[in-house]
Amino acid sequence: MTFDMNRAHDLLARAKRLGASAADLLFAEGEAFTASVRLGQVEKIKDAREKVVGLRIFVGRRQAMSATSDLTEASLDGLVGDTLARARVTADDPDAGLPEREDFRLDLPDLGLWEPEPVDLTLDRRIDLARETEAAALSADPRLSNSDGAEFESSSSSILFANSHGFRGEYAGTAYGLSAAPIAVENGAMQRDHWYSVKRRFALLDSPDSIGKEAARRTLRRLGARRIKTQRVPVVFDPEVSAGLIGQLAGAASGYAIYKGASFLVDRLGEEIAAPGVTIVDDGTIPAGLGSKPFDGEGLPARRTVVVENGVLKSYLLDTYSARKLSLRSTGNATRGPADAPTVSPTNFFLEAGAVSPEEIIREIQEGLYVTELIGFGVNLVNGDYSRGAAGLWISGGELAFPVEEVTIAGNLKEMFKSIGRIGSDLVFRGRIAAPTIRIDGMTVAGL
Amino acid sequence: MSALSEPSDDFFASRYALFGTDLDRVLTRVLGRSVDYADLYFEYTESESASLEESMVKRASKSVSQGVGVRATAGEKTGYAYSDDITIERLADAASAARAIAEGTGSVVPARVGPARRPSRDLYPVERYAGEIPLSEKIDLLAEVDRIARAVDPRIRNVIASFSCSKKRFLVVTSEGVVVEDTQPLVRLNVACIAEEEGNRQSGSYGGGGRAGLDFVLGDRRFEFYAREAARQAVLNLSAVDAPAGTMDVVLGPGWPGILLHEAVGHGLEGDFNRKGTSAFSGRVGQKVASDLCTVVDDGTMPGRRGSINVDDEGTPSSRTVLIEKGVLRTYLQDRLNARLMKMPLTGNGRRESYGNHPMPRMTNTFMLAGDDDPAEIVRSVNKGLYAVAFGGGQVDITNGKFVFSASEAYLIENGRVTAPVKGATLIGNGPDVLTRVSRVGNDLKLDAGIGTCGKDGQSVPVGVGLPTVRIDGMTVGGTRP
């Protein structure tokens, strides 16, 4: 059973006829393919196809949502009636509703998010790409004697969105990924790390050789890791870890966290929340960006929003509802799961690069911790408390000295963002959220 | 293992007009000449949720997810294809895709697909599924939760309460002749409170549920307990002091702190990692990995619990597996593929999130058996340390064994007495080492309230944990105060 704009139109019309005052509808369809190899042998091939219709109906200022992957006529007709019935009993919420009619745009940009599948990308080629990546990793050093495998992934998805204001939009996107996770063994101890590349166009993927070699380098340097004693020292976050920290700021800047009082950034608009030099941007319009989209989960056009400028909090990330709660305007950051009302998420979210090289950042530090991995969920966005398991390398005399593991780093996000003392020049978009190397002063490292 | 006896109501056969002969054809197509095992997994899941904040139920949603997954295995290889179109044509396509990987040497004739059976025991009989109860009753429940939580303390500024339930039906058909259908209910009520005092903002949360109907959260007015606990924790955190940093003795309270077992040892004992030799516990069956006081069990057969399953997602009845007995590692948790390759028995732990995923060895309800010590005496035995009673999430690096879990309610222990509440701190340790440091085990085994969700390789499944009060000597606490 296929779904198209005509059926979307019919469903919206049916909702109206049965008493809905407004409605919007999302149809998402996707295909994904994965080829995994381990120790040179094919381990798993996965082929997936999914589609779902999500419907949101308003009765006045009351709303309810539904989603189904059963696209038969009977199922969708039932969906409309059932959603309407449920919308009638939810709360009369003065701020609920579709965005204002005049905020929609019909001339949507082509952001280059989709490409036709390369014709020579056969099953064998996909398997070979994964195999070559793993081989490049494992051949780097004899201590890389085991593997969690390597994977080639491709996916293609399309979104159709329509609402009772007359907005109609469609877009499609592709993504390709290649990754490897080698395991190094020495003196009975094992370490695992990984490296990856994800791009919207196949030709832009990093080479199997470079991904494999980087995975090997990251894994080998963890061998012989030890604990260190508890102390307060400067810490340096590598770009992967740094991006995670920036992602937490996106969560704290979400309009929902703000109006619910569940963020350490409540009432801080216009204030200094980070060190001078810290500029953080959300930009949904970057060509071929992994987080780019022509319109958001409510159909509003994507845009560029400066969230933090030179340390000052300039904007929250907002959709229509959270913006109304705060007497602000949407920033085009609505995201929508098929069965859920919109909420907020970043698009392409990044910390602008500084001028210092990562090597210089390390060279300036006498004793400190270079963090390459954080684990656990010890981040409290309500009060900013931060305590996570860390692994990395000890910095001694401006150089990376030995690997460290089984320690925690702790602080509070409010102080951590203000204590970003150095920002590296090494900003690279490896995902939707990106940041260069940064130095943070005054965190507690707990170990022995 | 118990026999499968009761015939099913043929939900899938009648809904999708797919009968034994059709499925025979599909399985034959998957198996072809060289695949050694194949299965089909049909799923139809209905879910509902409603959430309240600012004293209003603003959001209510309902969804239906249906689809079929086709799997073929040959040696260590797995081919998996799935689609949300449940038609014979798509099944045939998926079957071709799944078998495309198979170049092995096996040659198996599928058993004839007989009528579907229901598991002979039902661990979660439900008279009326939560999804069948009118939304208005759930809205009333959330409003009641809101009133109770706000009444606890005037410093409670916001209450975010959410109710969710699902009813998952699935049918597994395997090339070995297993044809099983099960219906798994799940309910959950969660309450989060924000407390505020002079710009100091703190949160607290509590919740519970299980494989049951709405009665579960209404019974014994459990919803009232959840609301009071969430509010109490938020207010308590207003007076929390900075957590200490460094190595100290830690006492874990009973129940949800069992997440320690889930992260520190549970994942490391899953068959897939051990077959590949990538777990810190690989090759250690028969060895001492914990103190004599520790016996750790995974039990999928506990009636009504969130982590329980009548059969796993490969049709194997769930069981009770002793993982660690008096400190000695006994066995691993298995799904079919890994049990076959490791020549170990099936344990009924082959679980998957949905038809969109292949099964993996996963935990069910994982807990430590009770010991002899009086919990109060355990706390008194610590001179200076941390007493942690509630936790947020945890994570583990399977390969080097390092794990963390984050306390959301903890207190200092000074001279054997519980004193000031401390801010959330992460505890870190090494899986194969941490249980060897367990020096006291209480007589108060408790299971969690039914909120656990475990993530692995992008797949989430509901799980349970449990623990008596335990003392762990010398654990690293990741606070800010050195």
Give DSSP secondary structure letters for B12-65. Answer: HHHHHT--HHHHHHHHHHHHTTT-SEEEEEEEEEEEEEEEEETTEEEEEEEEEE
Please name the residue ranges forming H helices in A110-222. 123-138, 208-220
At residue B108, the pLDDT reads 58
What pLDDT is recorded for position B60?
A: 95
Q: What does the buried/exposed string (b/e) look like for B198-218 if buried means 16 or more CB atoms within 10 Å of the residue's CB?
A: eeebbbbbbbbbbbbbbebbe
Name B169's bridge partners: B44, B183
Whether A411 and B277 lie within 8 Å, measured CB to CB: no
Please write the tens of the pLDDT for every residue from B268-283.
999 999 999 999 999 9
**Closest C-alpha among B109, B231, B122 to residue B181:** B122
pLDDT, mean of residues B12-39 = 77
Closest residue in chain B to residue A224, using alpha carbons only: B400
Please indicate whether, in this complex, the C-beta atoms of B476 and A338 are within 8 angstroms of each other. Answer: no
pLDDT > 50? residue B106: no
Question: What pLDDT does residue B102 have?
Answer: 58
* ipTM of the complex in this document: 0.92
Q: Do B61 and A64 touch (CB under 8 A)?
A: yes
How many Cα atoms occupy the beta-carbon half-sphere of A131 within 13 Å? 10
Residue B78, strand partner residues = A44, B73
| Beta-bridge partners for B459 | B456
| A231 Cβ under 8 Å from any chain B Cβ | yes
- Residue B114 binned pLDDT confidence (cut-offs 50, 70, 90): confident
Q: Which residues of A touch B398 (CB under 8 A)?
A: 192
Q: What is the pTM of this model?
A: 0.94
Write down the pLDDT at residue B73.
87
- Residues sharing a CB contact under 8 Å with residue A245, sequence separation 6 or more, in sequence order: A237, A416, A435, A438
Rg (CA), chain B: 24
pLDDT in tens, B271-325: 999 999 999 999 999 999 999 999 999 999 999 999 999 999 999 999 999 999 9
Tell me which of B54, B70, B155, B400 to substitute to probe the interface with A (most A C-beta atoms closer than 10 Å).
Answer: B400
Domain A5-31+48-103 has CATH 3.30.2290.10: yes
Residue B29 has pLDDT above 70, yes or no: yes
| Bridge partner residues of B46 (DSSP) | B64, B167
The count of CB pairs under 8 A between chains A and B is 269
Rounded Cα gap, residues B477 and B249, in angstroms: 9
What rounded mean pLDDT belongs to chain B? 92
Q: What is the pLDDT of residue A59?
A: 97
Would you place residue B9 in the very low, low, confident or very high pLDDT band (cuts 50, 70, 90)?
Answer: low
- Calculate how close chain A gets to B121, using CA atoms only, in Å: 31
Interface contact flag, A67 B64, Cβ < 8 Å: yes
pLDDT in tens, B248-271: 999 999 999 999 999 999 999 999
Tell me the Cα Rg of chain A: 24
Tell me whether A326 touches chain B (CB under 8 Å): no
Q: CA-based angle B186:B192:B195, to the nearest 5?
A: 170
∠B13-B19-B23 over CA atoms, to 5°?
A: 115
What is the C-alpha to C-alpha distance for residues A413 and A247, in angstroms, rounded to an integer? 12
For residue B18, pLDDT beyond 80? no
Q: Where are the domains of chain B?
A: 4-237, 245-478
Cβ contact (<8 Å) for B402 and A340?
no
Angstroms from B2 CA to nearest CA on chain A: 32
Q: Domain limits of chain A?
A: 5-31+48-103, 225-448
- Return the CATH fold of B4-237: PmbA/TldD fold (3.30.2290)
Q: Per residue in B197-240, pLDDT tens? A: 998 999 999 999 999 999 999 999 999 999 999 999 999 999 99
CA B133/CA B212 separation, integer angstroms = 13
Smallest CA-to-CA distance from A138 within A267, A39, A9, A34 is with: A39
3-state DSSP call for residue A121? coil
Higher per-residue pLDDT: A378 or B111: A378
A225 touching chain B per CB within 8 A: yes
Q: Which of B94, B46, B47 lies closest to B68, judged by CA?
A: B94
Q: Name, in order, each residue with C-beta under 8 angstroms of A8's C-beta and a sequence gap of 6 or more.
A: A25, A27, A160, A162, A168
CA–CA separation, A377 vs A379, rounded Å? 6
Chain A 34-93, residues with CB within 8 Å of chain B CB atoms: 38, 41-52, 63-70, 75, 82-83, 86-87, 89-91, 93
Which of the 8 DSSP states describes residue B219? G
Q: Output the tens digit of pLDDT for each of chain A's 448 residues.
A: 578 999 999 999 999 999 999 999 999 999 999 999 999 999 999 988 899 999 999 999 999 999 999 999 999 999 999 999 999 999 999 999 999 999 999 888 999 999 998 988 998 999 999 999 999 999 999 999 999 999 999 999 999 999 999 999 999 999 999 999 999 999 989 999 999 999 999 999 999 999 999 999 999 999 999 999 999 999 999 999 999 999 999 999 999 999 999 999 999 999 999 999 999 999 999 999 999 999 999 999 999 999 999 999 999 999 999 999 999 999 999 999 899 999 999 999 999 999 999 999 999 999 999 999 999 999 999 999 999 999 999 999 999 999 999 999 999 999 999 999 999 999 999 999 999 999 999 899 999 9
Of B119, B137, B138, B139, whose CA–CA distance to B184 is shortest? B119
Alpha-carbon distance of B94 to B84, in angstroms, equals 11
Over residues A164-177, the pLDDT tens digits come to 999 999 999 999 99
Rounded CA separation A373/B404 (Å): 13
Query: Can you give the pLDDT at residue B36?
Result: 82
Residues 98-137 of A with CB under 8 A from B: 123
Question: B274 with B281: CB under 8 angstroms?
Answer: yes
User: How far does A225 lie from chain B, in Å, by closest CA?
Assistant: 10
